[in-house]
Structure 1
Amino acid sequence: MRIGVYLGTADNPTDNVTEVLGGVGRCLSDHKLDVFGTASLPESVRDYYTRISTTSRSPRTPYTRILATYRDSREYIRRRSPDVLFQVWKYQTHAPGVALAGHRAGVPTITRLAGDVFQEYQGHSGVKKTGIFLLDNVLGRIPLQLSDAMIVFGPYGAAQASSRGMDTEDIVTIPPPGELDEQFSPPEDKAACRRELDLPTDKDIALFVGRLSRLKGMDFLAAVIERVVSERDVLFVLAGSGPYREKLAERFSEEVVRPPGYVPHAEIHRYYKAADVYVHPSPYEGIPLVLLEAMNCGVPVVSRPAGDIAFLTPNIVETPAEMAATILARDWSDEWLNGKYFTTQYQSDILNGLVESLAEYEHS
């Protein structure tokens, strides 16, 4: 069976989907796997796929990106005659194009709802809010109507899809792969990890990894920090770039907030291994990779109730006061909820059954 996985156009950086592409490759390795488009294929997953380059396109807006995705998919279908099409990332711009192309060509299509797509317009204002609403909640319904199956991360994603018209029988729960590279594992010596990063060994460390922006909840996190440090000596390490890096550095001393800036993915495991707790203040998510990386390193996650994060961890808080109280009391659990859903074995069984059933149905 030939399965075509859409990669994107050349301006789509793919480093952040390496785990997803690797997970799909491992699970479906018994089939012929193509990746198509003009985006780069990360070197670490090249053994799983045959690279099929399509015509170079340079979309300038999200709407022309949907059109570019559609054209890439149509071109790929004509050249390779796949049994199944698979969209794995960028739901807003990739899923509509892939689903429409597959529907028109009679090729079964799987789309993947990664993130709290239908609500994220609420984090914007003015014309941009209207544009994002149109993209996510109008054009974003195309995959719900035309794809043959939709992958979601948990109950929240399933409810979002079904309430917008997707048949519940066509919704499949497969969260991001939870079995990560060996570097993401508990530290043998946390104090040594801290010394290597020039971090203190005599205080709790709360970690955040990601873009330091309003949309990622930095105002929420600043309120948490204010409450925590007024009562106890805790260091917040915020690894990432963004407009709030300087704002937070100006607002808090280096004894309270340490913003090391962008950390290459190959080095980020060192920060997880130095942390006591991972804090996630973002209001719009699916199940981000950073949470899986943290938990693989033995670091409990305390998060707002965004997307399907409650499918992964029990440490869910609604307000800055609740997050601060949890950190102060160290009242967190390291339990990994619904663990079987994150295993390669489970995901392989479900994905193989899904693609085989779609192909058989189409050919029957």
Structure 2
Amino acid sequence: MKRICFFAGSKSAFNILFDTLNFGWMLQEDFELDLVTTKPDELEPLAEFFEMHGSSFSSTRVGEARALARYLDRNQPDVLVNVVEPSIHGTTVGVLASRHNLPFVYRYSGDLFDLYRVSHGWRKPAQFALNNVLGRFALSTGDSYMALGPTGKMRLINHGAPPSDIGVLPPPINENRFDAIEEPDLSVPNDRKVILYAGRRSRIKGMNDLNTAIPEILKRRDDLQFVFVGSHGIDPDIPSRFQDHVTMVGRVPLGGMPSYFSAADLLVLPTYNEGLPRVVTEALCAGTPVVARDVADIASATENTFDTIDEFINMVVSFENLPLDNATPFTRSALRDDYLEFFSQF
């Protein structure tokens, strides 16, 4: 049985956990699976599908590279894959894969080639150097490529990847997480509809636009409650007369988001840079429509996209008229055969 090694290094965010967990669910019957991580305790659920390696190394850039090097000195997988960080992890995995004469699958896990365009100040040249200089080198070491959608595939082609070597493989969603969900206690008045924002709150994620849009929306509809889930970032800055229409939930325990998606009447995502965000496809799995900015591969999951703040405001005000997009193509059950076919080439 062929062996696939996934490399997560020192990264253990919830999206990494759930993506990799679903990779394991889809692939474990046909492949032997290894995971190199310096944080096995934080990724403990993955032990159901993966043999874990790298626990004795520090969670630094040097430590995670040493963990992969030690793994390759002792094991001979048939292919190596970076889970995230295509520029940094891609370089680490690509160089070590070449040294050991192993195929490397470069996973383009976010729209990083375009991140510098929406960055400001010193971050703009820094992001360009990281993702478009180092990132292009990492790309050049790949043998095959995973894109999250058609835009990701186009980015890879534009940066030199052969089209025939690219597989479009969206992040898989476990649809069973949305069965038998209990409603969260949001303390929202019964006569108000819940407009949910989930994730890190930053300028790149569209918080400035939300600060502009929320008062304009509430002037036209006072039956809406904006609920923010997530503990990181800047707080909404809106006039005091509208503050009773904003609920700050804070951090939600791992695995707790399905209940919030189900309780919401609409998910909003005004982000300026994404790949194919899990919050979009999980909201759709929960039966909740989405309004999101038309960036990267978001339009492959929902037709409810916007480009301007005015469009966003109008869509939220009349959100009951928006269609609910079909989440089935993004479930792990639907994607399993595509993943198996892609990895069967090695």
User: Contact conserved, 2:57 with 2:64, CA < 8 A, in 1?
Assistant: no
**Cα pair 2:199 2:230 within 8 Å, conserved:** yes
Q: Which residue of 2 aligns with 1:320?
A: 309
Q: Aligned partners of 2:317, 2:242: CA distance in 1, in Å?
A: 19
Partner of 1:46: 47
Candidates 137, 140, 151, aligned match of 1:145: 140
TM-score by length of 2: 0.91
Q: Which runs of 5+ in 2 are unaligned?
A: none
* Displacement of 1:89: 1.4
- Structure 2 counterparts to residues 281-360 of structure 1, below 5 A: 281-330=270-319, 331-336=321-326, 339-340=328-329, 342-358=330-346
- 1:209: which partner in 2? 198
CA contact (8 A) 2:213 2:313 kept: yes
Query: Which amino acid in structure 1 is aligned with residue 116 of structure 2?
Result: Y
Q: 1:164 to 1:306 in 2, by over 3 A?
A: same
Q: Distance in 2 between matches of 1:266 and 1:355?
A: 28
Distance 1:145 1:198 in 2: 52
Q: 2:211 aligns with which of 213, 217, 222?
A: 222
CA distance in 1, matches of 2:54, 2:18: 21
SS of 1:214 mapped into structure 2: coil
- Give secondary structure in 2 for the equivalent of 1:137: helix
SS of the residue corresponding to residue 243 of structure 2 reads coil
Distance 1:270 1:357, change over 3 A: closer
SS in 1 for 2:94: helix
CA distance in 1, matches of 2:45, 2:268: 29
Structure 2 CA distance, aligned partners of 1:48 and 1:104? 27
User: Could you give the per-residue CA deviations for residues 327-362 of structure 1, whole angstroms, max 9, x where no partner exists?
Assistant: 11223110227x43x23344332222222312xxxx
Change (3 A) 1:13 1:206: same
Change (3 A) 1:149 1:279: same
The 3 A distance-change label for structure 1 pair 177 and 251 is farther
Deviating more after overlay: 13-22 vs 295-304 = 13-22
Return the match for 2:166 from 163, 171, 174: 171
In structure 2, the residue matched to 1:56 is 57
Q: Structure 1 residues 251, 141: closer, same or farther in 2, change over 3 A?
A: farther
Give the secondary structure class of the aligned counterpart of 1:298.
coil
Contact 1:272 1:297 (C-alpha < 8 Å) held by counterparts? yes
Once the 2 structures are TM-superposed, how far is the Cα of residue 250 of structure 1 from its aligned partner?
Answer: 6.6
- In structure 1, the partner of 2:14 is 15
* Residues 17 and 46 in structure 2, CA contact (< 8 A), matched pair in contact too: yes
Which deviates more from structure 2 when the two are superposed, residues 198-207 or residues 349-358?
Answer: 349-358
For the Cα contact (< 8 Å) 1:152–1:171, is it kept in 2? yes
- Aligned mates of 2:275, 2:70 — CA distance in 1: 31
Letter paired with 1:168? P
Q: Which residue of 2 aligns with 1:362?
A: none
Amino acid at match of 2:80: L
Alpha-carbon displacement from aligned partner over 1:209-228 (angstroms, at most 9, x marks no partner)? 11111121101112221221
Q: Check the 8 A contact 1:87/1:94 in 2, yes or no.
A: yes
Q: Deviations over 1:21-43 (max 9, x none)?
A: 11110121121111113122523
Q: Does 1:135 find its partner at 2:136?
A: no
Aligned 8 A contact 1:249 1:257 in 2: no
Q: Is the 1:186–1:297 contact (alpha carbons within 8 Å) kept by the matching residues of 2?
A: no
Q: Letter of the 1:119 partner, please give it.
A: D
How many residue pairs were aligned? 341
Instruction: Evaluate the alpha carbon distance shift between residue 37 and residue 239 of structure 1 in structure 2; reply closer, same or farther with a 3 A threshold.
Output: closer
Give the TM-score of the pair, scaled to structure 1. 0.87
Q: State the match for 2:149 in structure 1.
A: 154
% same residue: 30
Which residue of structure 2 aligns with residue 254 of structure 1?
243
Which residue does the alignment assign to 1:239?
229
